[in-house]
Amino acid sequence: MHHHPGLFIPGPTNVPDAVRRAMNIPQEDMRSPDFPKLTLPLFADLKSVFKTQTGQPFIYPASGTGGWEAVLTNTLNPGDKVLISTFGQFSSLWSDMCRRLGFDVEVVEGEWGEGVPVERFADILSADKDHRIRAVLGTHNETATGVTSSIAGMRKALDASDHPALLYIDGVSSIASIDFRMDEWGVDGIVSGSQKGFMLPTGLAIICVSQKALAAHASSKFPRCFFSFEDMQRANKDGYFPYTPATVLLRGLRASLDLLFEEGLENVFARHHHIASGVRAAVAAWGLDLVARDRKWYSDTVSAVYTPAGVDAVQVLRRAFDRYGVSFGSGLARLNGKVFRIGHIGATNEVMMLGALAAAEMALVDCGAKIELGSGVAAAQSRYGARPQVLAKAA
């Protein structure tokens, strides 16, 4: 008998039934007179998700990688200097994109298991008296290592030296799952994707930029076409797009936002923290270590777990999938074979996660790990049974 596989990777995430039903519709005319009734409220509601009053959202038919490129090429010039720290696969990929686009990239190599080194950034920015650094880039949640960084700390580093650089953030695996405050933290560009906290299939790069970034766009000479802010602004103001949008995904986004607002964003963040705390309790009960080196770095959307010495993480992943029908994330780059990742992002609850932990436990034991069956599940159950009272639903 074929069963639907358990999906516990950090993206794509599970798509709720309400979202799937919203996308199961005939194709529609994206230039019809009533299409703006769908799109204009989407733009407005995305501002609420990003917690901004003045930011400008854009929705591209692309992945988060396309969002990275859109922010960079619309606001900077070839040869501009950017500052970035690499401490995982995705922050490294963003750095690589910057080099390939022709920017002067200053890279601070961080430890895989730690986050943005805000103190080091503060020193670099303070020393940059001529303000050659035009943008500072940070990964809010490093999906490869299960590490969350302080964006407020990055803003503090910029403000301490009165530095005018733009602040750009990769929020692909944090937005709509971990608290993010665009205006309060002075973020000039935030990049997210549809397949994570928005609980949709892959296919939308959802970004938001500040008025400062839009002003920088006016003097940007970087070649661009598909990702042009100008073209988007011209069409978006009336609820349309400069080319054919992913209409079905936009319908799904409407349903996803409705679910997020029904639960209440603060409750969404609390739920993710609660689910993650059970996973961390299970990992501790197994006697295993997270890649995240300290509690302050713990991610509420993904936990990267070291397998015991002598246990190949690739085999654990294969066993979990082949025998128990559950998918976990693999270890990426230097972590391949050493780590498996448990995604706890999006449409996830306690019972779903207990099933995932049971499968992980059995796969580990099957591959030779000396773990007492039931230990991690029991530890998570104890945590989940003590769930605090959540906030009232948003009106």
Domain ranges of the chain: 17-261, 264-384
Domain 17-261 CATH (choose: 3.50.50.60, 3.60.21.10, 3.40.50.1110, 3.40.640.10): 3.40.640.10
The 10 Å Cβ neighbour count of residue 175 is: 29
d(CA 244, CA 35): 12
List pLDDT tens digits, range 312-326. 999 999 999 999 999
Q: What angle do CA 252, 258, 264 make, to 5 degrees?
A: 140
Beta bridge partners of 306: 339
Residue 385 — very low, low, confident or very high, per pLDDT cuts 50/70/90?
confident
Helix (H, G, I), strand (E, B), or coil: what is residue 292?
coil
pLDDT at residue 2 is higher than 60? no
Give me the mean pLDDT over the 168-193 stretch: 98
Residue 3 — very low, low, confident or very high, per pLDDT cuts 50/70/90?
low
Q: Which residues contact 198 (CB under 8 A, 6 or more apart)?
A: 175, 176, 192, 204, 206, 253, 256, 257, 346
pLDDT at residue 94 is higher than 80? yes
Q: Is the pTM of this model over 0.85?
A: yes
* pLDDT of amino acid 386: 67
Copy the structure tokens of residue 351: 């019972």
* pLDDT of amino acid 393: 46
List pLDDT tens digits, range 256-301. 999 999 999 999 999 999 999 999 999 999 999 999 999 999 999 9
Beta bridge partners of 84: 107, 137
The 10 Å Cβ neighbour count of residue 51 is: 18
For the domain 264-384, what is the CATH code?
3.90.1150.10
Q: Which residues contact 372 (CB under 8 A, 6 or more apart)?
A: none
The distance between the two most distant Cα atoms of the chain, rounded to a whole number of Å, is 66
In contact, 8 and 342? CB cutoff 8 Å:
yes
Element (H or E) spanning 107, and its range?
strand 104-109
Give me the mean pLDDT over the 34-39 stretch: 98
